[in-house]
Amino acid sequence: MAQGQLAEAMGVSRQTINSIENGRYTPSLPLAIALARYFGVTVEEMFDDQ
């Protein structure tokens, strides 16, 4: 999925999605939950480094 599409679905900029992917920005709890719901996984599965 393109970062632009995901950004539009989440209501944030493409750069924000890029920063989250690269670990430069930690999303707020509502955004983290929205991302996890979007991909059908838990927040832990989505953001756990291990």
Residues that bind other proteins (CB under 8 A): 11-13, 15-16, 19, 25, 27-28, 31
* DSSP tally for the chain: helices H, then strands E: 4, 0
Complex with other proteins: residue 22 or 50, whichever CB lies closer? 22
Q: Give the span between the Cα atoms of 50 and 6, in whole angstroms.
A: 24
Complex with other proteins: residue 15 or 50, whichever CB lies closer? 15
For residue 50, the minimal CB distance to other proteins (Å) is: 25
Q: Give the span between the Cα atoms of 1 and 29, in whole angstroms.
A: 22
For residue 23, the minimal CB distance to other proteins (Å) is: 13
